[in-house]
Amino acid sequence: MAPQQGPEGLAGEGSPSGTQEQRLMFRHGLRVTEACAMRLDQVDLDSRILHVERLKGGLSTTQPLRAEELRMLKSWLQERSRWLRQWDRGKSRSGSLPLDRQALFLSTRGAALSRKTFWALLRRYGEAAGLSLPPHPHMLRHACGFALADQGADTRLIQDYLGHRNIQHTVRYTATNAQRFEKLWR
């Protein structure tokens, strides 16, 4: 996966939510644990915002949702509701864990999607897409940082967006972008 690529090349099934998790991880620079821990109350479709709860001492932020993300989330939430209704009516699910009604992303067992499941899904999607390098979830976070830098975003803005407390963790994204010097001396 090229640094500026998101999960667009990944396709597949395996979780009820498909690749929505990967798209949100890329677009919002989420860590896998942050994506798996997302709750329904972190998504406000009416206000078009996502409340990102950062881990590892990061700064939590409120970020806008774009039209394509809104469509994707609305579609997933409808599918998620269908799954919950089926499970409530007694349709069997693969596992005996209690349903997690607040988790945004559910596994086929009705529990919050786990890091292990997410990693396996991403690896399978990468194989199906013919990627030469097996993807890992943190690649999506890095791809977000590089994509923002490639679009000309300021280092401080990228720092805030990714929830970095220390700018040294952000500099890697802008330091490799030669285009940032193009407008100098004009």
Q: Which residues are catalytic?
A: 31, 56, 138, 141, 164, 173
> Own/partner pairs for 164-171, CB < 8 Å, 24+ apart?
164/58, 164/59, 165/57, 165/58, 165/59, 170/145
Kindly write down the DSSP assignment for every residue of 1-27, as one continuous string.
Answer: --TT--GGG----SSTTTTHHHHHHHH
Q: How many CB atoms lie within 10 A of CB 8?
A: 12
Give, as one character, the DSSP assignment of residue 103: B
106 bridge partner residues: 112
**HEC letters along 105-159:** CECCCCCECCHHHHHHHHHHHHHHCCCCCCCCCHHHHHHHHHHHHHCCCCHHHHH
Tokens of 153: 């975003």
